[in-house]
A and B are shown apart, each in its own frame.
Chain A
Amino acid sequence: MEPIPRTHLSIVAGLLEVLEDYQGKVDVAKIADELMLELDDILPAIEAAEILGFIKVDSGDLILTEKGREYIAGNSMERKKILNQTLSRTSLFKWIIEQLKSRGNEMSKEELIALLEEEMPDVDAARMVKWIIEWGRHALLLRYDSDSQTIRLGELA
């Protein structure tokens, strides 16, 4: 299954804003330098923006894509729809939504962790589920109630 973002959305959005300020193209090292960040700090944001199709990376340059421009220009619901369309096409979210549907639209977090451990034995499933919940919420694909530790389908699933 292809990867999903493993950093927070507002960090990705901040990266897009900086890129837009630079007319959509800038050297990675320049951004890191300007923000006084180590490359290691900024890499998860770059990776996430690339996974979402918001940027392209070309020999050290970050290039804002049309979709990335659309994302930052949109209002909060337009942005959510873009995230929704993008993430609902990933095999990971497709698989989770299928699993949820086959279980009457409800699954405990523990259950999802166990399923993932089977499906992807070489990833840290508990950490992965944390990101799945966060991005699933952003994209309105998933809901999560942490009192009962229950995952449900979101309103745009």
Chain B
Amino acid sequence: MPLLELRNVTKSFASKTIRPFVVLEHITMAVDKGDFVCIVGPSGCGKSTLLRIICGLIPPTDGQVLYKGAEVKKVCDEMAMVFQSFALFPWLTVLENVEIGLYSKKMSKEEKRMRALKMIEMIGLKGFEEAYPRELSGGMKQRVGLARALVSEPSVLLMDEPFSSLDPLTATHLREELVDFWLNPNMAPDTVIMVTHSVEEAVYLANRVIVLSHRPGTILKEVPIDLPRPRDPRSDKLYALVDQITSLIA
């Protein structure tokens, strides 16, 4: 049984005046434990909506999302999300922002603090526990976003354009860090689903790239990425895959 399964997921938004607005149509896909899936597609193809449906933030209009065989009907706390805009609480410190990731967990305050501090250390935020988001660079802010998502040890990490508001060097570094965390068996995440508009980024990171069409978003193709790791972002094989996928979207 796959870890996560989407069966014929469709999402439309009702409108009183015109026809319903269909964002996603007949999305069927499966994600196994240990997978790294990137979803690419033109802007407005419903990529972000798809992530929100997967974790139960919004319900599909039709079809089902199954997590370990059971239908996802409310926000699934086995999944955690990282956002493009970081989505940190500006009035909370780094430590408090990370602890928020455990708010729904039944554990003592001390236990939460201990886990948050451990995650802060693993993710390279040590020394910044008492800093507020406004004191941090973009790269450090996104590390906080990542630490908050990973502190609950989710089985699936969902990422919505996590590197696209960062400068190119910071993005390069954080992509590398994410792969290291994913490959590290002692550390979450095992399974990643990332939405990105950058085909290069998708091919560099993923085991599999899912290409969505323009609205309504349907799956045009699933492209397996069998390149060995560590990957060379400038290799001919990688570029050939980037070209292949780009030509599907353009």
* Chain A residues within CB distance 8 Å of chain B: 8-15, 17-18, 21, 35-37, 41-42, 45, 76-77, 79-80, 133-134, 136-140, 143-146, 154
Contacts and interface: CB of A to CB of B under 8 A. Distances in A.
Contact of B126 (A8, A36, A140): A140
Interface of B: 121-124, 126-128, 130-132, 135, 137-140, 167-174, 176, 232-234
Main DSSP-derived SS at the A contact region? helix
A138 B127 contact: yes
Contact of B174 (A10, A37, A146): A10
Which 6 pairs show the lowest CB-CB distances between chains A and B?
Answer: A14-B169, A10-B139, A14-B173, A8-B137, A76-B124, A137-B127
B99 to A, nearest CB: 17
Q: Which of B122, B127, B128, B138 has the most CB of A within 10 A?
A: B127
23 contacts: A8-B138, A8-B139, A9-B137, A11-B139, A11-B170, A12-B169, A14-B173, A17-B172, A17-B173, A17-B176, A18-B169, A18-B172, A21-B232, A35-B168, A80-B124, A80-B126, A80-B127, A137-B127, A137-B128, A140-B126, A140-B127, A144-B131, A146-B130
A77 B126 contact: yes
Given A8-B137, A8-B139, A76-B121, A14 B126 contact: no
A146 to B, nearest CB: 6
Contacts of B167: 11, 41
A144 B127 CA distance: 9
Contacts of A14: 168-173
Given A21-B234, A35-B168, A10 B173 contact: yes
B127 A139 contact: yes
B169 A10 contact: yes
